[in-house]
Amino acid sequence: MSDRNLDLFERAKQLIPGGVNSPVRAFRAVGGTPRFVQRAQGAYFWDANGQRYIDYIGSWGPMILGHGHPAVLEAVQKAATEGFSFGAPTEREVELAEEIVKLVPSLEMVRLVSSGTEAGMSTIRLARGATGRKTIIKFEGCYHGHADALLVKAGSGLATFGNPTSAGVPPEVVQHTLVLEYNNVAQIEAAFAEHGADIACVIIEPIAGNMNFVRASVPFVKRIRELCTQHSALFVFDEVMTGFRVGLGSAQGHYASLIPGFEPDMTVMGKVIGGGMPLAAFGGKRAVMEHLAPLGGVYQAGTLSGNPVATACGLATLKEIQKPGFFEALSATTRSLVDGLKAAADAEGVPFSVDCQGGMFGFFLMPELPQNYATVMKTEGAKFNALFHGLLDRGVYIAPALYEAGFVSAAHTADDIAATVAAAREVFASLR
């Protein structure tokens, strides 16, 4: 019997660069053939061969309810009968904006867009327009979409400007992007001491899901907040991944519980707010957001922004996750998974560290959790690849890359978790 995944991949490579429409899907980091998904339901998807997998990617985060949730399907089907796109305002755009602002206290206004990249790019432009400054600070290992100014790696020394990480990005485009080490308080202090009057914003993933799962320390977040306030720069939380995924208050709600009075100036959101449809948003205080066209001089537009089917999907998702006990149950399921994986690795003598928040988790094949990108890079890639394929062969699908977080949905059952842990222990035994 032929492998339909392989057949489809060969066809795709003739027409689509690398055979995929987003690079990580190509399995380049782990080797082998990508699984072409045929359908999904609940906590599972089935590939082109009809093989079922327990899904810990969930479309890279949006499917917090699991695939095909009945209330979401009903909302989307109803919206589709009313029209796919209008290029004009709809009531649901207002309802979704109201829901997001209600749940995130730091937001007074939001603008809906179609992707996290678009939201991140627009936020940077707005921060520069609102402050009249050029310099932005990001941190190595944090991903904020593929806009030119954000595809940057660290410079050669402390508080130096970055270098492009992609061909096609001229050095002069990133000359105002400063790249610092994540969780390094001394570097952010030095950067503000040298460039404070020129800094428009600091943008951060509060839980960095693109170097697997690395938390920003409380002292780090607290100090950035103090420096931004002191120097009249904007502090941006990129919550495309963490928004409504790590808790109903998102990551900023978690940090507010640890830092009295904490809130960011701007927030970037995506994934969960679209429920699996192309939808994202960025927002902040009214005084900043009113710099956007048509009120102000910062231009941003999009034909499909606030798409009526996407907003129906997102609104239905947000209503479900607000039900009593939702996040308590999701967090307990995620915790049972990571505790089980840790116990399995320990039992087989495999170095392993793990962390989670809400429905998001990450693990490292090292004895302690890393705090920055340089440490993450020391993880043994060959061992991870063996773990990935070992799980895949046993019907468990985790991210096909060492540097990506994982996601649990409300549809994952205790049996799914037990099956995953049992599969992992078998693989760990082979890694000793």
Of 116, 96, 105, 405, the closest CA to residue 249 belongs to 105
What is the rounded distance in angstroms from the CA atom of residue 289 to the CA atom of residue 130?
8
Tell me the torsion sign for CA atoms 391, 395, 400, 405: negative
Is 271 an annotated catalytic residue? yes
Choose the catalytic residue: 47, 238, 265, 416: 238
Query: 316 near 308, Cβ under 8 Å?
Result: no
Residue 415 tokens, joined: 């049996």
Query: 159 near 189, Cβ under 8 Å?
Result: no
What are the helix and strand counts (H, E) for the chain?
13, 18
Choose the catalytic residue: 53, 271, 403, 416: 271
Q: Is 44 helix (H, G, I), strand (E, B) or coil?
A: strand
Tell me the torsion sign for CA atoms 305, 309, 312, 317: negative
Choose the catalytic residue: 44, 53, 56, 143: 143
Cis check for the bond before 105: say yes or no (omega within 30 of 0).
no
Query: 115 near 142, Cβ under 8 Å?
Result: no
What is the rounded distance in angstroms from the CA atom of residue 107 to the CA atom of residue 293?
18
Catalytic residue positions?
143, 238, 271
